[in-house]
Amino acid sequence: MEAMQHEHTHTDTCFDCAETCERCVTALLEMGEEDSKGHDLTACIKLCRDCADICTLCGRLEARGSQFMKSYMTVCAEACEACAAECEKHADHVAHCKACAEACRKCAEECRAMAA
């Protein structure tokens, strides 16, 4: 049986963003309450956790063709933008935050385009 080709979709973008947020949270928790520059990481951790959950649900709603997916994409874009803004504060000295901010910006952009 031949393997089916999988084209990258918006659902994949949502799940990729959720995974990146989860990895960022894990890295931040391992660092402790402050980064190397003394910045409090609590807000970043909270936003990453929210964003991961919201992105996962957004991807699931889209995968099933839910009637609520377009309105939920707007919420997902807002969460991604907030998470990206917070992670960008640490992106110059925390690699996971840089990757997270980039994934969040991409997901927010796709969600906004899909919800339009």
Residue 51 lies in a domain: yes
Model pLDDT for residues 19-49, shown as the tens digit of each residue = 999 999 999 999 876 666 677 889 999 999 9
Sign of the alpha-carbon dihedral angle for 111, 113, 114, 116: positive
Domain of 23, CATH number, reads 1.20.1270.360
In the prediction, which pLDDT does 8 show? 75
Domains identified in the chain, total number: 1
- Please report whether residue 75 resides in a domain: yes
Does residue 2 lie within any of the structural domains? no
Backbone φ, ψ for residue 67 (5° rounding):
-65, -15
Would residue 94 count as lying in a domain? Answer: yes
Q: How confident is the model at residue 2 (pLDDT cuts 50, 70, 90)?
A: low
Mean pLDDT for the chain? 91
**Over the stretch 54-76, which tens digit does the pLDDT of each residue have?**
999 999 999 999 999 999 999 99
Q: Per residue in 77-101, pLDDT tens? A: 999 999 999 999 999 988 999 999 9
The Cα 13–Cα 55 span in angstroms is 9
Whether 1 shows a pLDDT value over 60: the answer reads no
User: What's the pTM value of the predicted model, to 2 decimals?
Assistant: 0.89
Angle at the Cα of 35 (from 105 to 78), degrees rounded to 5? 25
Does 55 reside within a domain?
yes
Residue 3 lies in a domain: no
Which residues form the domain of 61?
Answer: 10-30+38-115
Under the phi-then-psi rule, with left for phi > 0, alpha for psi from -120 to 50, and beta for the rest, what region is 39?
A: beta
Q: Is the pLDDT higher at 21 or at 116?
A: 21
